Amino acid sequence: MVVPDSSAPIASFQQVWKRFGDIVAARDLNLDVRSGEFLSFLGPSGCGKTTMLRMIAGFEQPSEGDVYLHGNRVNGVPAHKRRVNMVFQHYALFPHLNIARNVAYGLKQAKPKLAQNVIDERVDEALNLVQLDGYQQRRIWELSGGQQQRVALARALVNKPEVLLLDEPLAALDRKLRREMQIELQNLQRNLGITFVLVTHDQEEALSMSDRVCIMREGEIVQVGSPRELYDNPLNRYVADFVGKSNFFDGVVESTDQGRQAVKLDNGQSLDVDLSATGKPLASGHPVTLSVRPEQIVLARDRARLPDDAAIVIETEVRNRIFLGEHTEYLLHDDAFGEFLALAPRQAEANEMPFEVDERIYVSWSRTAALLLDNTT
């Protein structure tokens, strides 16, 4: 046995490739899963996120490269010999067993054998953890989807896995229940200190629960980072588009001057963008995409009310207005910029009355608000 080192990654991919026939599901992946973190794989279906999860579980073996669990190379080690457990997409609960026996299933496989009273105790504990006390003797089909989800969670957690894998666990639940389970999963993860690895195509889910998010595309890892890092410093348009809403305008770099870059957009407009602390200056002529988050756009009826440091001021027409409670979302239109979104917080609206559809208003954003995304990555 290797003595666990808390600073070492609990799971690790090193130059991992996975092929299914001609299809490449994983392309030279390198990733460390840190002990005790909540990590999400985010991407559209077919991006390889589930394959990664299944390689940690042991259902798939890498075609090339190595997978490590707790510092041990586990290529070829079957799933039943790995101390990781999975919550399956449609739960995969055993229909012929009651709730208690479903939860006890993993404990019953333990060697040396656990005493029945120990098993019972731990099953009760696990069911208590997911708030299903007293459901021991119930049958699977007597439970709602949300309750089945909790049983699946208890069945995995009762084994005290080193890593808990969750394969789109909330996809089958309705919106309200999903929100509740997200909070519960987060609490469980913090209280138990178990590493959670989640697969999802739902960006809101990934961003709200995870410590780190790994964004994938076509078998490759595009960017790994905390939700805030990904939101504030997306590597490219793909990430910016996947993480939250944004407006994109294509253009090229005109010149660079002391951390400020002049950009000429394809629509003929020119504007300045300040480089963020982490941003690298791009050479003149470099193709870029300007990303402006809707909430970064300032709206005003009166041009004079706009901030002085605006990178650009656009006179636009309000095309549509959606009331979202805390915010109001405006769909704006300008001949040069096309349609784009702006989000006005409620407090800001208190000063100026809500804008009406068809009204002409002024909008702007600051030089620090817009992000320059390298179009070659």
Partner 1 sequence: MATKSSWAHRLLVLPAALWLLVMLVLPLLVVFVFSFGERAPAGGYIPAFSFDNYLNLPARLTAFKNTLILAPLGTFAALLIAYPLAYYLAIKASVKIRTTLLVMIIVPFWTSILIRTYAWIYILGGRGIPQLLDWIGIEGVRLINTPYAVLIGIIYGYLPLMVFPIYVSLEKFDKRLLEASEDLGATPMKTFRDVTLPLSIPGIATGCMLVFILLMGEFLIPALLGGGKVFFVGNALVDLFLQSRNWTYGSAVAAALVIIMLVTVSIYMKLVMRGAGQREDVSLI
Q: For strand 23-33 and strand 360-366, is the pairing parallel, antiparallel, or unpaired?
A: unpaired
The whole-angstrom separation of Cα 203 and Cα 163 is 22
Question: Where does 187-283 show beta strands of DSSP type E?
Answer: 195-200, 212-217, 220-225, 247-257, 260-265, 270-274
How many Cβ atoms from other residues are within 10 Å of residue 273's Cβ? 26
Least gap, CB of 149 to partner 1 (angstroms):
14
The whole-angstrom separation of Cα 11 and Cα 306 is 50
Q: Which stretch binds partner 1 (CB under 8 A): 53-61, 220-228, 282-290, 297-305?
A: 53-61
The count of chain residues that interact with partner 1, using the rule CB under 8 A, is: 26
75 close to 62: Cβ distance less than 8 angstroms: yes
Query: Residue 77, SS3?
Result: coil
Least gap, CB of 295 to partner 1 (angstroms):
41
Which one of residues 6, 22, 80, 347 is an interface residue with partner 1 (CB under 8 A)? 80
User: Residue by residue, what is the 3-state secondary structure of 230-251?
Assistant: HHHCCCCHHHHHHCCCCEEEEE
| Interactions with partner 1, residue window 140-159 (CB under 8 A) | 141, 155-156, 159
256 close to 282: Cβ distance less than 8 angstroms: yes
H or E, element range at 88: none
Does position 57 interact with partner 1 (CB under 8 A)? The reply is yes
To 5 degrees, how large is the angle CA 39–CA 43–CA 47?
Answer: 110
Q: Rank residues 25 and 230 by Cβ distance to partner 1 and give the closer one.
A: 25
Q: Rank residues 107 and 314 by Cβ distance to partner 1 and give the closer one.
A: 107
Least gap, CB of 79 to partner 1 (angstroms):
5
Q: For strand 38-42 and strand 212-217, is the pairing parallel, antiparallel, or unpaired?
A: parallel
Least gap, CB of 113 to partner 1 (angstroms):
12
Least gap, CB of 160 to partner 1 (angstroms):
12
H or E, element range at 153: helix 145-157
Does position 78 interact with partner 1 (CB under 8 A)? The reply is yes
Which one of residues 8, 31, 79, 331 is an interface residue with partner 1 (CB under 8 A)? 79
Least gap, CB of 236 to partner 1 (angstroms):
35
Q: Rank residues 163 and 363 by Cβ distance to partner 1 and give the closer one.
A: 163
The whole-angstrom separation of Cα 278 and Cα 292 is 17
Q: Rank residues 35 and 85 by Cβ distance to partner 1 and give the closer one.
A: 85
Cis peptide before 227 (omega within 30 of 0): no
Q: Rank residues 82 and 212 by Cβ distance to partner 1 and give the closer one.
A: 82
| Interactions with partner 1, residue window 82-141 (CB under 8 A) | 84-86, 88, 90, 92-96, 105-106, 109-110, 139, 141
Q: Rank residues 85 and 247 by Cβ distance to partner 1 and give the closer one.
A: 85
Give burial (CB, 10 Å; 0-12/13-18/19+) of 246.
Answer: buried
Q: Rank residues 85 and 246 by Cβ distance to partner 1 and give the closer one.
A: 85
Q: Rank residues 167 and 274 by Cβ distance to partner 1 and give the closer one.
A: 167
To 5 degrees, how large is the angle CA 182–CA 183–CA 188?
Answer: 100
Least gap, CB of 29 to partner 1 (angstroms):
22
Does position 50 interact with partner 1 (CB under 8 A)? The reply is no
Q: Rank residues 10 and 154 by Cβ distance to partner 1 and give the closer one.
A: 154
Least gap, CB of 137 to partner 1 (angstroms):
12
Query: By the criterion CB under 8 A, which residues form the site for partner 1?
Result: 57-59, 78-81, 84-86, 88, 90, 92-96, 105-106, 109-110, 139, 141, 155-156, 159
